[in-house]
Amino acid sequence: MPDVDVGRICDIDPARVAHYQRRYPAAASSNEFEAVLADESIDGVVIATPVFTHASLVSSALRAGKHVFVEKPLAASSGEARILVQLAGEHDRVLMCGHTFLYSPPVRAIKRILEAGELGELHYISSSRVNLGPYRSDVSVVFDLGPHDFSILRYWLDSLPHNVSAMGRDVISTGVADFAFVNAIFEDGLVANMELSWLAPSKLRRTVLVGSEKMAVYEDNSPEPVRIYDSGIEYRDPETYGEYHLAYRTGDIVSPRVDTSEPIALELKDFAGAIRGEVDELPNSRIAVDVIRMVEATEASMADGGRAVPVAAHGAGLEREAWS
């Protein structure tokens, strides 16, 4: 980024530091995060470490007066996530979580289409986010891939599901679910179905939205990432006895032009803008906490044979924990 200086590179693994030092020869480097925190020339830190380190690294950075961008998910539990948001408020620091898809131009295009009411009343959303790996050993597929779909849903619908039910299995590594089928039910009856998998023959990133007026398909990395189908089924009162009641409508398929900007560049630009006070409010702290509540409800359902778990049961009334 032209208006941001990389002041320091830090990783506990010296080989990773050496690798990135070649890209940023002018930056100082260290194997200890404390050295970053003690450096008064650093305004903000970008944390991209395993999820179980997020709470302690983010909280110590906020306490040291740094603005923080942390990769998704914000923390390993909704309790930790809430404390981090609270801490950022107390220290008047920017805390932004890397829910990259909130900056994806096709995701934003669909948000505009939904807000304009073009699809009519939404009946269901169905998404597939599958690939052969890459496996993570520290968290399940729900914690790894789920935050992408959960953050997109939360952003598009501006609400949380009423409850979540999910089934999955840990076939490759015991205790770490490698695929999950998640159903999220919203207050108004909308059903969102998500297939998350590290165990699939090829990469698929596809979401279908079915509304009363039109249908849409969002396919990441496709040359036409958003397609709107003027398709539907209408019930008609029969004029003659025996006339068929249903009329199928298959009209135009429109693929709106979508900006090709790189989402991660847009989100980091917003982070820098927020530090400078140029971006008023980052919508994503609240979303980041809600995403973890959805992950927790999904994992609770999987652990309980697919029982419907209310999302409201997760992340309420949490107090500060020992690590803070």
Ligand X SMILES: NC(=O)c1ccc[n+]([C@@H]2O[C@H](COP(=O)([O-])OP(=O)(O)OC[C@H]3O[C@@H](n4cnc5c(N)ncnc54)[C@H](O)[C@@H]3O)[C@@H](O)[C@H]2O)c1
Q: Residue numbers of the site for ligand X (CB under 6 A)?
A: 10-13, 16, 33, 48-51, 53, 57, 71-72, 98, 100
Q: Which residues contact 33 (CB under 8 A, 6 or more apart)?
A: 10, 57, 60, 61
Residue 308 Cβ, how far from ligand X at the closest point, in Å? 27
Q: Burial of 87 by CB count in 10 Å (0-12 exposed, 13-18 middle, 19+ buried)?
A: buried
| Cα 196 from Cα 136, distance rounded (Å) | 14
Residue 302 Cβ, how far from ligand X at the closest point, in Å? 19
| Cα 259 from Cα 238, distance rounded (Å) | 46
- Residue closer to ligand X by CB (options 32, 90) is 32
- Residue closer to ligand X by CB (options 139, 190) is 139
Helices (DSSP H) in the chain: which residue ranges?
Answer: 14-23, 33-38, 51-63, 78-90, 105-115, 141-144, 146-157, 263-275, 284-303
Residue 40 Cβ, how far from ligand X at the closest point, in Å? 20
Paired with 281 in beta bridges are none
- Residue closer to ligand X by CB (options 57, 196) is 57
- Residue closer to ligand X by CB (options 61, 274) is 61
CB neighbourhood size of 65 (10 A) = 13
Residue 11 Cβ, how far from ligand X at the closest point, in Å? 4
Per the listing, tokens 């019930």 go with 235
Are 38 and 46 within 8 A, CB to CB? no
- Residue closer to ligand X by CB (options 16, 91) is 16
Helices (DSSP H) in 93-189: which residue ranges?
Answer: 105-115, 141-144, 146-157
Residue 50 Cβ, how far from ligand X at the closest point, in Å? 5
Residue 212 Cβ, how far from ligand X at the closest point, in Å? 33
- Residue closer to ligand X by CB (options 163, 284) is 284
